[in-house]
Amino acid sequence: MQDVSTGVQAWTPAAAVTGSITSQSLTMTNNNAGEYADYTFSFKTDTGYAVGETIEISFPHEFDLFVGEASQWFTNEPDTYYLNCESTAMSLSWCTVSKWKVQVMGSAAVEATTAIDITINYVKNPAVASPTASKMMLAVYDANMALKSYDQDFVSAGVTIAAVPVKNIVQTMVHASNHNLFGVNAEYTFKFYLDQTSLGANENLQIMFPMSYNLNLDNGASDYTCDTTVTERTGDVESWNDDNTCAASGNWVMLDAKAYTLDTTD
């Protein structure tokens, strides 16, 4: 149920629920206000997960009504909105959303002793930089939508949203090796410099491509090969990263800076 005055939600089971949820964690690719991010939920439930059951994640009302980039996929489902999502444990998965509630179904069963992971792509962070008033909630329903297990306090506090930093990356060039429109692979080169900031070792650089791009590799891999160099103010060019693998998630490409600090002099 929901407290209309506060927007705070809570479950009131019709019967006793014996299942429990443990080992909860939530990670976000970024937590800046108003930005898009991938949210990964990980947990265990002593009732396990069977194909045909539903996992429901309830977002605080500071998030958008449809949480993120929701869209209608099928003409015969005019009132059903889907989100891009994925799960290693549940294999091929699909997510629908309605009024802050995301329902997830997977194509593989998960034993009670195994952690379940769910990543929801393109979640739009709340616009205000502060912890949300209410917390994430998660529930597991059986195939008849009877509640098996639930957690009304998925994380120990509300989701913490950080302020958007000042613009401190100045992009000077984006170049594509091939400008043909459809079905052609291309190499993209980004040139930029940092203004009053630095990129330290073990931090990462993220680039979000427009939704019209398809970042799914033909060979089924989930990462790209990236070459990185830095041009000193003296004109010298050197490699600044010992990792040439860029991870891809949705329309994001992410590069970890593992061995070199990039600062405003580069």
Q: Residue 141: which CATH number?
A: 2.60.40
Q: What pLDDT is recorded for position 11?
A: 56
What is the rounded CA–CA span in Å between residue 242 and residue 260?
8
Same domain, 210 and 145: no
Q: Which domain holds residue 211?
A: 169-257
In a domain, 110, yes or no: yes
Q: Considering all CA atoms of the chain, what is the largest pairwise distance in Å, rounded to the nearest integer? A: 72
Contact 143, 52 (CB under 8 A): yes
Same domain, 94 and 180: no
Q: What share of the chain is helix, strand, coil (3-state, %, to 5)?
A: 0, 40, 60
In a domain, 265, yes or no: no
Q: What pLDDT is recorded for position 4?
A: 41
The pLDDT tens digits along the chain (266 residues) read 444 444 445 555 555 677 889 999 999 988 888 888 899 999 999 999 999 999 999 999 999 999 988 888 888 888 899 999 999 999 999 999 999 999 999 999 999 989 999 999 889 999 888 888 888 999 999 999 999 999 988 876 678 888 877 777 777 788 888 877 676 778 888 888 777 777 777 777 888 888 777 776 666 677 788 877 777 666 666 666 656 778 777 677 887 765 555 555 54
Same domain, 127 and 192: no
- Extended beta strands in the chain, E state: 21-28, 36-45, 54-58, 81-83, 85-86, 93-98, 101-106, 116-124, 137-141, 147-151, 169-176, 188-194, 203-208, 223-225, 229-231, 237-239, 245-249, 252-257
Total count of domains within the chain: 2
In a domain, 161, yes or no: no
> What is the CA 176 to chain-centroid distance, rounded?
26
Same domain, 184 and 215: yes
In a domain, 6, yes or no: no
Q: What pLDDT is recorded for position 54?
A: 97
Same domain, 85 and 122: yes
Same domain, 104 and 220: no
Same domain, 245 and 147: no
Strand ranges of the sheet holding 101-106, from the earlier edge strand across to the other edge: 81-83, 93-98, 101-106, 54-58, 137-141, 147-151
Same domain, 45 and 85: yes
Same domain, 35 and 100: yes
In a domain, 4, yes or no: no
In a domain, 14, yes or no: no
Contact 80, 72 (CB under 8 A): yes
Same domain, 143 and 173: no
Q: Angle CA(136)–CA(141)–CA(147) in degrees, nearest 5?
A: 85
In a domain, 195, yes or no: yes
φ, ψ of residue 36 to 5 degrees: the values are -90, 145
Last residue of a domain, one of 120, 151, 182: 151
Same domain, 96 and 40: yes
What is the rounded CA–CA span in Å between residue 234 and residue 65?
51
Contact 119, 249 (CB under 8 A): yes
Contact 128, 62 (CB under 8 A): yes
Q: What pLDDT is recorded for position 14?
A: 54
Same domain, 177 and 146: no
